[in-house]
Structure 1
Amino acid sequence: MKGRFFWIALGLIGISWIANSIYAYSKQLDEPIFLDHYIDMTYQDNLYVSFFYLTNKNDTSVISSMNAGDLRAYPEPSYGGNGSHQIYNYQDFGRYVLRSVNVTFYNPYGDQLDYETTEMDVVFSDGRVITAPIGHIITRPMNTDKSPLEQNFSSSSNNNLYQDLYQAIEPLTIEAVGHSFQDDLQDDFFIKIHTPKNPFDSRAADLTFQEPMDNEWNDIPGLNVQDVSFPIYLNEGDTLSIHSKFSTNRTKVLYMDTYIAGTTESGKAFYTTNRIGTQPYLEKKDVTEFIKSRTKEDTDE
């Protein structure tokens, strides 16, 4: 009798193991899923960028190249000097991992490439080739002209709040302030403008420039950029402060510029930029929701 119960118990354990294995296999990703990257780059020589993607924890492949039209990117060799590319798990979520790969975009043509794409062909070391949505990449010519706006101060906080202080070195007109992904990031990225000459908020007189970094977004002096009536006129010596903030949308990665565009009193157009960069930090619920949105499948653990 005891022997019979033993074999029944052993059989139930085997059935449970098989069921769990089938369930785990059914939750495997068919292919890696890239986070949404918003990359705005001046394409002159070579550019170094980090990409992040979710994949199965047992995936032993590495990325060999990333391509889109004339854009060509190859991973940087891992430390050690042997030319190899090692797997780097940025975050671990059980059966899934968030991996990062550092790539360099190369410009083989010697001129400045003007290009835009929302997906790339990704080649892996095991021979797989996937066409992956990667967010939005824009390349544009590099601006080498000296700006009439001198940047006097720049800082950022760990809650993705950025502030920059500019001073006009000659009379000028500001005609636009923004970034390249106005439509993509309208619910995630915000900009405020303040100039002491034409104060948008009387509270600004009581704050030093550094103090807003400790305040909530609504308490920061200035107007949201969409509420600003352009143009803004600045005389020599006038200052302009730009505050920008990225929301807590963890599945979006920024490597882009905010810009100030205008014309000097002498009639020369200018375009001043400042780099914004973020890295993701996902929670398990972010992974579940993101995979579900990309695969239309339930990924609950």
Structure 2
Amino acid sequence: MKLKTLLIMIAFYTIIVISLTVYTEHSKLDQPLFADHYIYREEKDIRNAYIYLYYVTNLNDNPQITSISDSSTEKGIEFNIVSEQELYNEGRYTVHELLITPHRYRKDFDNGIDLEELQVTMSDGSRYVTKIGHIYMKEKQDEGNDLFHFVSTVSSNRGLTESKQYANKELIVHHAYVPFLKQIQANYDIKINGDLLDYEIEDEQLESGNAPFHPVSIKNAPLMLDEGDYLTVIAQLMEQDKFIAYDFPVSVLVEADKKYIKEVNLIQDTPRFSKESMQELLKERGEQP
């Protein structure tokens, strides 16, 4: 009798284990799950856009995205990954966040183009086409001056604390430069809520052919930014015959010998893909949240 009971219990637990294994395997995503609609700062010129991509993977998967471009080759737009992070884990899934901005583009967009899809290439060679809503692009026109576009971001040696404050001793500004422009040199002023800060500049010059980033390390600028504060960086080019447009969460237009200030809320400008959004995304694709 005891043997029979033992066999029944073994059979019962075996069925449970098999069922759980089948359910777990069935519930795993067979590929990264990209959200159809991304949050981006809408700009009339796509070169000034910042696009947040969100995608979901299995909890222990660590896929690497190697390149991002538009889905139609004739548009020829490529994107830089500005930042990439695991946003949070929820159940069996991990939500990833990427901040991207256009890097290369063709010059024949006289009448503008619509960009509605992106092609994402993973490290294993797999490719996925994802929808990003709608971005309209039209080339900027300038009277007689060459256009040099700089995509810029801000990082720090610390980051956001629980009190939503930046407590940095160093502010690093990274901006892409046009390959055929060999050297860039500029003067910088930094303000928080309109108050000028004291700081030191380490301006590293990169020559043509190197990595497409020109880091400027601004030291001794202790930043304590609460939600609602704004940080402004004013850049003045030493080359007086060039027009350079910056657009990033901290500053910026530079034109010849004039200075322009653009104030942007640094904290509230950052979107987040909520857990509710992730659950809705999984349900839409027939997955278990």
Higher relative contact order, structure no. (Cα contacts within 8 Å, ≥ 6 residues apart)? 1
TM-score, with normalisation over the residues of structure 2? 0.46
